[in-house]
Amino acid sequence: MTRSRTANPQTIHDEVAALRPGTILTLSEGHYLEPIVVASKSGSQEAPIVLQGDQAVIGAQRSYKDYARTANQLSAVQEAGGQFPGVYYLADDAALILRDCQWLVIEDLMFDGCWPTAIYLDNCQHITLRGLDIRGGTFAIGATGPNTRHLLIEDCSWIQDTSGHGEADLAAIRDRGHIDGHAPPKHSLLWSKTDWDDVHRDRLESKRPVNIDTDARAFDGDFFRAWTIAGYVIIRNNVIADAFNAVHFFNLAATSIVSNFSRNVLIENNWFLRIRDNAIEPENYAWNWTIRHNKFVDCYGPFSFEMARSGYFYIYGNLGWNRHKPGPANDQHTTGQLFKFGSEHIADGPHYVFNNSWILRGPVIKKNRFSHFIHVNNAIDYYEEKGKRPPAKSFVFGSDWKEWDDPSATAEEIAKAEGGRFTRLWRALKITFDGDIINHPEFPEQLRNARYAIGEFARREELFFNDMSPGRPEGLKTAEPHSAIRLEAEFPDGQSRFVVETGAAVGAWQSNGVIEIGELAFETYWPTPNVHDRTSRVRSEPKNTTGESA
| pLDDT on residue 545 | 39
Domains in the chain: how many in total?
2
Evaluate whether residue 353 is within a structural domain: yes
Neighbouring CB atoms inside 10 A of 521's CB total: 12
> What's the CATH code of the domain at 159?
2.160.20.10
Residues 305 and 406 in one domain: no
Phi and psi of 365, rounded to 5°? -140, 125
Residues 384 and 484 in one domain: yes
Residues 182 and 268 in one domain: yes
d(Cα 403, Cα 414) in Å, to the nearest integer? 11
Residues 38 and 176 in one domain: yes
Residues 295 and 430 in one domain: no
Among 282, 317, 352, the domain boundary falls at 317
Evaluate whether residue 413 is within a structural domain: yes
d(Cα 163, Cα 242) in Å, to the nearest integer? 9
Evaluate whether residue 521 is within a structural domain: no
Evaluate whether residue 326 is within a structural domain: no
Helix (H) or strand (E) holding 317: none
Evaluate whether residue 438 is within a structural domain: yes
Evaluate whether residue 110 is within a structural domain: yes
Q: Are 294 and 271 in contact (CB under 8 A)?
A: yes
Q: Are 324 and 298 in contact (CB under 8 A)?
A: yes
Note down pLDDT in tens along the chain; length 550 residues. Answer: 789 999 999 999 999 999 999 999 999 999 999 999 999 999 999 999 999 999 999 999 999 999 999 999 999 999 999 999 999 999 999 999 999 999 999 999 999 999 999 999 999 999 999 999 999 999 999 999 999 999 999 999 999 999 999 999 999 999 999 998 767 777 899 999 999 999 999 988 888 999 999 999 999 999 999 999 999 999 999 999 999 999 999 999 999 999 999 999 999 999 999 999 999 999 999 999 999 999 999 999 999 999 999 999 999 999 999 999 999 989 999 999 999 999 999 999 999 999 999 999 999 999 999 999 999 999 999 999 989 999 998 999 999 999 988 888 999 999 999 999 999 999 999 999 999 999 999 999 999 999 999 999 999 999 999 999 999 999 999 999 999 999 999 999 999 999 999 999 999 999 999 999 999 999 999 999 998 655 444 443 434 333 333 3
| pLDDT on residue 544 | 38
Neighbouring CB atoms inside 10 A of 404's CB total: 11
Residues 402 and 304 in one domain: no
Evaluate whether residue 453 is within a structural domain: yes
d(Cα 277, Cα 467) in Å, to the nearest integer? 26
Evaluate whether residue 338 is within a structural domain: no
Q: In the beta sheet, which residues pair with residue 49? A: 104
Residues 275 and 349 in one domain: no
Domain with 418, as residue range(s), is 344-514
Residues 156 and 253 in one domain: yes
Among 317, 336, 359, the domain boundary falls at 317
137: closest CA among 69, 192, 62? 62
Residues 96 and 46 in one domain: yes
Residues 306 and 353 in one domain: no
Among 298, 317, 336, the domain boundary falls at 317
Residues 36 and 108 in one domain: yes
Residues 348 and 385 in one domain: yes
d(Cα 10, Cα 81) in Å, to the nearest integer? 40
